[in-house]
Chain A
């Protein structure tokens, strides 16, 4: 009975949890950006904060970095994914690559970035392995690879992390489209596999994955942790500069930070508009290309190149994790030795207590937030089911909105706002901030299987006299155990990886594995980074393993349910 009264409120509550902090944060950003910050005794409106941020000599470069890193990394990752799927979907090679990339989706951005840095630096693992036998280097070259001023290594870090995400999104979209017949017809007409796919299936797929692609673009333009680890420092990206300004002892710097946050927001909006215009352009050229009827003689080369790029990104993440692992056990490890002189457990012992604390904090936040997200999501989906509602495109936009607004645009405002109303920083506000990012992913991950559930089960159960609540608890949820656990794992992985919300809203008091790992970046202790990076990855990966094994055990005697 209780849940029936509560149910209708859940969608509203979900929207509030997802959008409330974003809107409040933007409000908290706009006010100081125009010189209004009562906490510092300043009342606006004034344009001085914008004048000051425009006077910063680093601004043009920082803005350009945001734009170039965002566009190039998104375009690269997206092109590689589209070409790999176009050229290889349905083949055995593709299944291998898919199997390799899927678990990498949950590797936190910070850990992947550290791994990449330890690989490609002039003294990285790659240089160590090929030196001195192949190169003759007995010292690392004085080359600016990591933290290069053009942001190339930062782009690489983002590309390898976004490829698994875009690939899985594309695969999910493919599941909703009948590709078999398009494929058969285009092949019968003599089109190459890749060209045929791009001409017939791609437009349908892109319609489905447009919003996630926008999310990737907005994320890449405003990411902080990857930029701190791999990005340049002279000057840093705009988002890193915002975080630096936020931590200046001079409170008036927050005005500049807020103004810069609005510049960042405008940049992202601008980039999304440009991308949208680009879509129209691509569509126009695409129509012409389709009409010309070229069958695609370069297909094999392009396909192989894309596969190579996809495989490289998977290998880069895997090798990155491997080198984190080696560093975490390393004794002295000079250049150009391929492996440390001795392996030791000392690094792990040294950090064991710190790790335990951070792990508990991380787990507590992730589990609570994910449970709340699951509850709200299931509630929304159940309301949708019982009232026969359908989610419109506009509804999907609402779902993606918190992921499209750059974190650096609203989180500083949220922190200032919390401060102004005297709310304590700490674990609870951090949980609310995490919920903003966890909810959309949990919702997206669970909604398809929830909606795809065969409604005849519910009809049968109702015919046997079960109430709607009983149907939900006794039939639907148990049958959906696997997708629910998977959505939970997604939620935990998202929460574990959050850096900026934990840092800003936690006021430094909330120390998770991610904030600890990124804080270690400035100290440069590679052994400590290895230990924390690995633990962070494990915290995100273990729930996926649970989501895989628990249904197999619970439903060992129900063959039809084992695979969801």
Chain B
């Protein structure tokens, strides 16, 4: 008995410094109350910003968590910040509590031990996530192991204005032929913008006879040989791009006004519902439709991750869990709001919740899940990094 006092005295400071246990959800909820979560997420799209603001309102109502959206122009900024905080010894209360992340940024942070976890698979709503059917356990071939939780599915679609380009094209080769016949009517965002880099990967995946080589990390030996067809493709495509490839749109959404003005007939998007949403917001004419390639297109999931030095991990987990709730997922899928694909398994949720999804009008420009066809896996992130660098030295600096 006499040790109890000492034990208690020892436990108090330990308890207050201990990492939260994601499996103890009640404790997480309790710890979350009153916390402020700084969510660093790309802020270039008004619709996403509005959605994040709504999430903030809802978690404040239900859990007493204050959500602040820190708008980034580039997710890499947030990675830098955590990295420099670690170097500076700021290990307890960093500036960032949550990051909208995937791909190479996730790989870099996981690799450098900058993330809190594993936590994702302990969240209550993980049970209703479609972990079998959707790529939510690997991110660009990198195993996730619970260090980030999914909240949206994305897939490459091509956006075309049927008033000027009535027919879809079925392959990247066909796209090149179309661009040669219609010079100046197509463009893609400037890499290293993620959508621009995705376009490069999409070309590669489509024109390579055996894209499986992309699932393994790129090596100095095979990189040149594997990517040679891509550069040959771009040599032919670039003079036929918008502005002859002397300038590129900054991001995917920056291409919508160009389509609306009739400067572009064709562009690329990573969000199957974005075109319908843009039509609803007057950003695109209602003649715009989307299509995918015959062999399918690249798809991936968007995640949130929690930096190891967040001072509000409980709050961040509560937000991450809320993002996977049927309520948030149905709202995100509504093309009038975001038009993002859901990560949930429709069979795992209640009929009432399913009705929220079934009631959605996906919008005139959105393909049905069946029409979206085959989802191709992302190449290993090492390819994306090299492709973006290589592109920058070939096309990013005018010769």
Contacts and interface: CB of A to CB of B under 8 A. Distances in A.
Interface in B245-287: 246-251, 253-258, 260-263, 281-283, 285
Contacts of B397: 56-58, 61, 234-235
Interface stretch (A279-287, A318-326, A349-357, A401-409): A349-357
Nearest to A503: B73
User: Which 10 A/B pairs are nearest by Cβ-Cβ distance?
Assistant: A524-B254, A523-B44, A58-B397, A142-B184, A123-B261, A39-B87, A249-B79, A332-B282, A139-B262, A335-B261
Given A509-B68, A525-B257, 7 more contacts: A148-B247, A234-B396, A247-B80, A249-B105, A335-B260, A353-B53, A524-B254
A445 interface: no
Contacts of A335: 260-263
Interface stretch (A8-16, A366-374, A418-426, A461-469): A418-426
Interface stretch (B88-96, B143-151, B362-370): B88-96
B175 interface: no
B49 interface: yes
Interface stretch (A214-222, A380-388, A514-522): A514-522
A239 interface: no
Contacts of B396: 58, 233-235
B297 interface: no
Contacts of A58: 396-397
B310 to A, nearest CB: 14
A248 interface: yes
Contacts of A142: 183-184, 242-244, 263
Contacts of A350: 46, 50
A52 B90 CA distance: 29
A350 B80 CA distance: 31
Contact of A524 (B38, B105, B249): B249
A249 B381 CA distance: 15
Contacts of B263: 122-123, 139-140, 142, 335
Interface in B186-214: 190
A155 to B, nearest CB: 16
Contacts of B45: 523, 525
B118 interface: no
Contacts of B95: 424-425, 507-509
Nearest to B393: A57
Interface string A22-61: 0000000000000000011100000000000000111001
Contacts of B258: 123, 524
A251 interface: yes
25 contacts: A123-B261, A123-B262, A139-B262, A144-B244, A149-B398, A232-B398, A234-B397, A234-B398, A235-B398, A247-B74, A333-B282, A334-B261, A334-B285, A335-B263, A344-B282, A419-B85, A422-B89, A425-B95, A507-B81, A522-B251, A524-B254, A524-B256, A525-B46, A526-B257, A527-B283
A58 B247 CA distance: 15
Contacts of A521: 250
Contacts of B376: none
A453 to B, nearest CB: 46
Contact of B53 (A39, A144, A354, A523): A354
Contacts of B190: 233-234
A122 B184 CA distance: 13
Nearest to B249: A524
What range describes how many residues of A lie at the interface? 35 or more
Contact of B77 (A148, A247, A330, A354): A247
A508 B251 contact: no
Contacts of A20: none
Interface string B224-242: 0000000000000000001
B333 interface: no
B72 interface: yes
A447 B261 CA distance: 50
Interface residues on B, range: 35 or more
Interface of A: 39-41, 56-58, 61, 122-123, 138-140, 142-144, 147-149, 232-235, 246-249, 251, 330-335, 344, 350-351, 353-354, 419-420, 422, 424-425, 507-509, 511, 516, 519-528
A271 to B, nearest CB: 22
B58 interface: no
Contacts, number: 168
A233 B83 contact: no
Given A235-B396, A333-B282, A509-B70, A140 B261 contact: yes
A138 B261 CA distance: 10
B357 interface: no
Given A57-B397, A144-B246, A351 B46 contact: yes
B40 interface: yes
A508 B75 CA distance: 11
Nearest to B79: A249
Nearest to A137: B262
B71 A511 contact: yes
B76 interface: yes
A333 B262 CA distance: 11
A233 B87 contact: no
Contacts of B49: 354
A139 B242 CA distance: 13
B84 interface: yes
B395 interface: yes
B127 interface: no
A267 B243 CA distance: 30
Interface string B46-74: 10011001000000000000001011111
B11 interface: no
B188 to A, nearest CB: 13
Contacts of B395: 234
B82 to A, nearest CB: 9
Contacts of A508: 40, 70-72, 77-78, 81, 95
Contacts of B249: 524
B43 interface: yes
B76 A249 contact: yes
B46 A233 contact: no
Contact of B80 (A234, A249, A422, A523): A249
A247 B78 CA distance: 8
A507 B70 CA distance: 10
Contacts of B79: 249
A149 B246 contact: yes
Contacts of A520: 44, 46
Contacts of B43: 516, 519
Nearest to A146: B247
Contacts of B184: 142
Nearest to B87: A39
Nearest to B40: A508
B282 A144 contact: no
Interface string B82-117: 011101111000010000000001001000000000
B6 to A, nearest CB: 34
B90 A519 contact: no
Nearest to A515: B71
Contact of A334 (B38, B44, B253, B260): B260
Nearest to A149: B398
Given A332-B260, A509-B38, A524-B250, A519 B44 contact: yes
Contacts of A149: 246-247, 398
B248 A233 contact: yes
A332 B285 contact: yes
Nearest to A424: B95
A524 B108 contact: no
Nearest to A332: B282
Most chain B CB within 10 A, of A57, A140, A525, A527, is at: A525
Contacts of A334: 260-262, 285
A251 B80 contact: yes
A511 B43 CA distance: 11
Nearest to A351: B46
Interface in B334-360: none
A420 B88 CA distance: 6
Contacts of A123: 257-258, 261-263
A255 to B, nearest CB: 13
